[in-house]
Structures are given as structure tokens and as C-alpha cells.
Amino acid sequence: LKAANAGWHVTGIGRTGDSLQEALTLGIIDEAATDIATALKGVDVIMIATPVAQIGPILQRIAPHLEDKTIITDAGSTKADIANEAHKLLGNAASRFVPGHPIAGAEKSGPSAAQATLYKNKNVVLTPDGRTDPGAVQIVRELWLSTGAIVREMSPEGHDTIFAAVSHLPHLLAFALVDELAARPDAEQFFEFAASGFRDFTRIAGSSPEMWRDISLANRTALLQELDRYQSALNQLRQSLEHGDAASLQATFERASQARNAWAQHSPSALWKN
Ligand SMILES: NC(=O)c1ccc[n+]([C@@H]2O[C@H](COP(=O)([O-])OP(=O)(O)OC[C@H]3O[C@@H](n4cnc5c(N)ncnc54)[C@H](O)[C@@H]3O)[C@@H](O)[C@H]2O)c1
Ligand SMILES: O=C(O)C(=O)C[C@]1(C(=O)O)C=C[C@@H](O)C=C1
């Protein structure tokens, strides 16, 4: 937002000085604050960008300090849990809470991982419901559009089903693969020879453990369903291997390869279109 629109005065609110100082030095924020009550005086929009399990407690803490004009939104990777918490905790101000999720990120954390162009041509999903003030949705939409993002709307439940499959499950798989390899007594030898295939498959296993613990738990019903589907796909592959069934392996790989290449060609989220 700082890079996109010089008109915004951005106050970063955090718990300790370190990351706030780093954000100030990098020019990401105009001002740093640790006292919520003082920092929220007169603000137009609050964006909560902490791990998802912290968002409910933060909504509870900001609730007494919200002004009538203040719009609240978030960047959390799960939506049904956060939308429900907002309705429980914000009282009348819940109508000015617009749940949001930018579908772009990295395995790096903290202010130094921020990239001004991260959202350009990337989807941002908003999940307002019938109770959300359309004026609040419009302002949050415009904020994201100013960063170059493509803004989409869906239900929180629809969001959580989709991202269990295309984001949360892949992270679980990458964490599991790296953890299993790393636990072997001769792990070093395996890592020494791992190359770009391993790098591409496991980049996201370097992501924040706290962030992914919270996402996994918050969306665990949908994630368990996706895990079951994946396990049954693996079982089928296992059977094909066991039986030396070349035709079945070839058919699976062909379908997957075509689907992956078509996605890469057409999706605005494919990273190499940055
Ligand atoms: N990294 C991604 O790829 C990505 C993409 C889209 C959405 N998200 C979501 O955005 C949110 C932030 O993720 P991020 O990648 O920016 O993480 P990050 O680790 O870079 O930033 C999170 C910040 O929250 C602070 N924090 C944690 N608990 C807090 C608390 N109780 N009070 C105040 N500050 C607190 C941390 O100190 C840290 O500075 C998460 O909900 C995540 O699910 C992440
Ligand atoms: O590129 C990455 O490192 C990401 O994990 C980004 C990614 C994802 O595509 O799964 C991760 C979490 C989000 O909520 C949105 C985007």
C-alpha cells in the first residue's frame, strides 16, 4: 500500500520493537506503535496480518477501541473461523469486518520478506456475507486493487474448501517429506544430492511453523478430507507400481502433466508470470 498509494499513512502495530523498527527502516510503515488504544484513534482501516490463531484474540482486544468509521479486514489464510470469530467478538462493528485473503506469499517471514509488487495480478479473496456493509467491502476491494491485485468474492466455507486442496495440503506434504528425510541417520547424504525437483517440491517446507500449525488446525475438517483423497490417489499409484502397471502410471502422469501445464499457462497466480 505504501508503494501503491502515497496518500495512505500506515501505522504498524506490534508487540515488540524489533520488527517495527525493521519495518520503519525499510519504509514499509510511516509510524510504529505498541499501544492499541492510542494507535486506533481516528484510523480508517485496520488490517490484521498475524498468524490466524491470533486474529480472534486481536479482534477481542481492538473491539473496545473501534470508531464508527473504522473498517476492519485481515490477511489470514483461513476464513470461516475468522468470519465466525468476528461475528462473535465485534458486536455492531462486525458489519464493518471484511474477511480477506491475498493468494500470494512466500516461505519467508517478517518485514524483510515484504515485496511491494507481490500482489500484482494475483487473486485476493474477500468473503463478506449478507451482514457485511457493502461500503466497507468496496473500500477493502479498492485497497487491494491499488496493489494490482485481482479481487474475487466467495463464501468463507467455499474458500476453505478450495485452499485446503491447493494450498494447505501441499504445505502438509512438503513438511512431511522433508521431516521424514531429515529424521534418517544418513539424511545428510540425501540432502547433498537433492536438486531442483526437490527444491521446487519442498520450498514451502521452509515456511513459518507457527503460521502453518494455525492454518492446519483452523481448517482441519477440509484438510482431513483432502488428505484422504490424496492418500487414495497415492494408494492407486502404489498398486500400479506394485503390479508393474506401466499403462496406468503413464495415464496418471499424462493427465497430471496436461492439467499442470494448462494451469501454468492460464493462471494469473503462476509465479513465473511475476
Ligand atoms: N506467507 C504467506 O505466504 C501468506 C500468504 C497469504 C496470507 N498469509 C497469512 O497472512 C498472515 C500473516 O502471515 P505473514 O506471512 O505475513 O507472516 P509473518 O510471520 O511475516 O508476519 C506475522 C507477524 O505477526 C506478528 N504477530 C504474531 N502474533 C502476534 C500477536 N499476538 N500480536 C501482534 N503481532 C503478532 C509476528 O511477530 C509477525 O511480525 C497469516 O495469517 C497468514 O496465514 C500468509
Ligand atoms: O508461495 C508460497 O510460499 C506460499 O505458500 C503462498 C501461499 C500458497 O500459495 O499456498 C501460502 C499461503 C497463503 O495463504 C497464500 C499463498
60 band by pLDDT with thresholds 50, 70 and 90: very high
Query: Hey, which residues does 153 pair with through a beta bridge?
Result: 126
- Cα separation, 161 vs 167, whole angstroms: 10
- CA distances to 49, 68, 70 from 61, rounded to whole Å, are 15, 16, 15
Residue 88 maps to which CATH number? Answer: 3.40.50.720
- Cα separation, 37 vs 201, whole angstroms: 44
Ligand 1 atom closest to 211 (CA): 43
Give the tens place of pLDDT for each residue, 183-212. Answer: 999 999 999 999 999 999 999 999 999 999
- Cα separation, 169 vs 216, whole angstroms: 9
**Cα-to-centroid distance, 93 and ligand 1 (Å):** 23
**Cα-to-centroid distance, 80 and ligand 2 (Å):** 18
Radius of gyration of the chain (CA): 21
Q: Give yes or no for residue 77 CB within 6 A of ligand 2.
A: yes
Q: Are residues 67 and 100 in the same domain?
A: yes
Let me know if residue 86 belongs to a domain.
Answer: yes
Q: Are residues 231 and 188 in the same domain?
A: yes
Query: Hey, which residues does 46 pair with through a beta bridge?
Result: 72
Q: Give yes or no for residue 99 CB within 6 A of ligand 1.
A: no
Final residue in a domain of this structure, among 127, 154, 181: 154
Of 56, 60, 62, 96, the residue nearest 76 (C-alpha): 56
Residue 184 maps to which CATH number? Answer: 1.10.3660.10
Q: Give yes or no for residue 78 CB within 6 A of ligand 2.
A: no
Residue 274 has pLDDT above 80, yes or no: no
Q: Are residues 45 and 143 in the same domain?
A: yes
In which domain, by residue range, is 198 found? 159-242
Task: Name the grid cell of 159.
Answer: 474458500
The confidence score (pLDDT) of residue 270 equals: 66
Give, rounded to a whole angstrom, the gap between the first and last alpha carbons of the chain: 18
Give the tens place of pLDDT for each residue, 111-121. Answer: 999 999 999 99
Give the tens place of pLDDT for each residue, 204-250. Answer: 999 999 999 999 999 999 999 999 999 999 999 999 999 999 999 99
Number of independent structural domains in the chain: 2
Average of per-residue pLDDT values in the chain:
95
**Cα-to-centroid distance, 182 and ligand 1 (Å):** 26
H or E stretch at 229 = helix 220-242
Q: Are 140 and 98 in contact (CB under 8 A)?
A: yes
Task: Name the grid cell of 124.
Answer: 485476493
Q: Are 61 and 37 in contact (CB under 8 A)?
A: no
**Cα-to-centroid distance, 111 and ligand 1 (Å):** 10
Q: Is 190 left (phi over 0), alpha (psi -120 to 50) or beta?
A: alpha
Model-level pTM? 0.96
- Cα separation, 78 vs 75, whole angstroms: 9
Residue 94 has pLDDT above 90, yes or no: yes
Q: Are residues 89 and 163 in the same domain?
A: no
Ligand nearest to the CA of 270: 2
Of 273, 45, 22, 20, the residue nearest 148 (C-alpha): 273
The confidence score (pLDDT) of residue 147 equals: 94
- Cα separation, 157 vs 219, whole angstroms: 10
- Cα separation, 238 vs 243, whole angstroms: 9
Which of the 8 DSSP states describes residue 84? H
The confidence score (pLDDT) of residue 73 equals: 98
The confidence score (pLDDT) of residue 198 equals: 98
Task: Name the grid cell of 106.
Answer: 512466500
What share of the chain in percent tops pLDDT 70?
97
273 band by pLDDT with thresholds 50, 70 and 90: very low
5 band by pLDDT with thresholds 50, 70 and 90: confident
- Cα separation, 241 vs 250, whole angstroms: 11
- What burial letters (b/e) apply to 24-43, b meaning 16+ CB within 10 Å? beeebbeebeeeeeebbeeb
Strands 123-126 and 100-102: antiparallel
Q: Are residues 138 and 22 in the same domain?
A: yes
Which of the 8 DSSP states describes residue 14? -
The confidence score (pLDDT) of residue 268 equals: 66
Ligand 1 atom closest to 75 (CA): 10
Final residue in a domain of this structure, among 137, 154, 171: 154
Q: Give yes or no for residue 109 CB within 6 A of ligand 1.
A: yes
Task: Name the grid cell of 218.
Answer: 483452523
